[in-house]
Amino acid sequence: MPRVHRPAALRQHGPDAAWGLQRQGAHHPLRRHPGARQRPRAVARSPGGPPRRTRPEGADRPLSSGNPAGPCRNAGESLHDPSDGGLGQRWASPASNLATGPPRAPQGPDKRNRAPSRARNEGREDACVKVLILTASVGEGHNAAARAVSEEIRELYPNAEIQVENGLARVGAFWERFVVDGYKIQLNKAQWSYSWLYWSIVKSKRVTHFYKGLCSVIGCRKINRLIDYSSPDIVLSTYPLTSAMLASLKRRGKVKLPCANLVTDFAPHPMWMYPDLDDNYVMHISTIEMVATMMEPSPTTVVAPLVSKRFLGPSRRAEAREALGVPEGAFVVMVIGGGWGVGNIERSARSVASVDGVWTLVVCGRNAELQQKLSDGPPPRSIILGFVDNMPELIDACDLAVQNAGGLTSLEALRRGCPLLITDAIPGHGVANGQLMDRVGVARYVRNAAELPEAVAACRDDPGLRPRAERLAEGFATLPSAGACLVELYEGARTRAAIGLPEPVLAGGGTGGSGAHRHVAAARARSRRLRLSALAAAALVAFALVTSGTSVS
């Protein structure tokens, strides 16, 4: 009997290895004749990626309307309860019936390792761009920023497919609870601990590199898998920890798509800025000077403060006051602590109410305990509200907004032309935001509620306060939007790919497409050291949690 030749792959790894040769186009030496019983077909694989498994009906996957016209399918944006921050969105564009079905087959080579391809049609209205936005439910600001960028992109690309993902949830449920619940505990029970963490990051580059390496160890693999599965043209992050993971993937050459970082704080800390990303979007020119002195040189672009389109319409002051039952000539101050209602909101509200003739509008957010406490013993001339979705109307009804973090609500007031005062700021980024805003003339900052009555009275007696705020809002409107800058970044990468130009070498050593091998090798070695140290720290933390019986929930 003649001896059958067995290929090396088959001798070393068994029969499945030979099937890998067949998938790559090599001749299979053991193919049977047509009449013989055939081996079951191997699991379909995407080029260079893991096996694609059929997902069960209703599983979490991109939504498709069943348009057979190629990869630019017309999908629709799902409507969700505002409490989830819009994180249930998947590939979406305005005209979908939200039909679900099996996942689409891979369309060509893996887009993760190449620049975006040229759209079929030349006009933007017919172009199809896939955008992946990474965010996190740590407060409401990061999710709202993701929704605002989606709106801006849709104005430029009506058929754009936009996927908004909770990056922390994708990394793992434990790490999401650890970050979100730990942040809540710090702000409500132990603000000193958050202040210590923040300033240790600001003042020590070693601490900053350690936490960036820790993020790389914990989440890079999951985020890389998400990008591989979603196959976007461009990626944007609105949360610093997901930005750290994205920058690590860019630095090590795992992701070569254009990637950008949207800073939602007026005064960013070092965990916000990344030289390995293609661009970092900030909201004021003073931030660039701050970045140059505190952090590594990073590509930076100044954009308009990011708010929803609802905040850019005409003012409806009379209607808003009538709906609230506030006298037309009264001086109204809104006190708000963000979507979570954290900080010393009650003390600030009672300090404002102590000023003669001032009406106080208190927005407690999702802090039901605070809302109940103020409702049981309300300050004089006050209106107590919980979480609201008509913030533009409330800002129109007010003469002054009092906030404690300089976050999303502060940006909404500034874009609406409402004067802003920051007091009792949250330790860490709240204090840094308030101080920078006061220094550049965007808002007024007072340290605590004891100084608040005098500051409110001064604002009430200043006739030029409102006109200055309106002129500031007009100045912000002249800045480019983050969505427009992101589209410009995508089109630049597409043009370079079309004419065969190499991607530029980024400041951190990574590249957008190819080249700079020495920089990439050095960055990989540095990243490897950071991951090893972060892995050791994570093991110590896990050991401490297990031995002490502490549960994060």
Q: What is the domain-level CATH number for residue 339?
A: 3.40.50.2000
The C-alpha atoms of residue 516 and residue 510 are separated, in whole angstroms, by 8
The C-alpha atoms of residue 92 and residue 75 are separated, in whole angstroms, by 5
pLDDT of 289 over the 80 cut: no
The least confident of 242-246, 270-274, 312-316, 492-496 is: 492-496
Residues 435 and 505 in one domain: no
Q: What is the domain range of residue 284?
A: 82-100+108-304+484-547
The pLDDT tens digits of the residues spanning 240-286 come to 999 999 999 998 889 989 999 999 888 888 888 888 899 899 988 88
In-domain check, residue 39: no
Residues 407 and 269 in one domain: no
Residues 297 and 329 in one domain: no
The C-alpha atoms of residue 74 and residue 296 are separated, in whole angstroms, by 41
Residues 369 and 505 in one domain: no
The C-alpha atoms of residue 125 and residue 74 are separated, in whole angstroms, by 12
Last residue of a domain, one of 432, 450, 477: 477
In-domain check, residue 40: no
The C-alpha atoms of residue 482 and residue 342 are separated, in whole angstroms, by 28
pLDDT for the residue numbered 186: 83
Q: Can you give the length of the chain in residues?
A: 553
Helix or strand holding residue 421 (H, E): strand 420-422
According to the per-residue pLDDT averaged within each range, which of 51-65, 121-135, 327-341, 515-529 is highest?
327-341
The C-alpha atoms of residue 259 and residue 278 are separated, in whole angstroms, by 6
- Take residue 112 and report the two structure tokens written for it: 């993760």
**Total structural domains in the chain?**
2
pLDDT for the residue numbered 225: 92
When the pLDDT of each residue in the chain is averaged and rounded to a whole number, the result is 73
pLDDT for the residue numbered 229: 92
b/e for 195-220, b at 16 or more Cβ within 10 A? bebbbebbeeeebbbbbbbbbbbbbb
Let me know: does 428 contact 194? Beta carbons within 8 Å.
yes
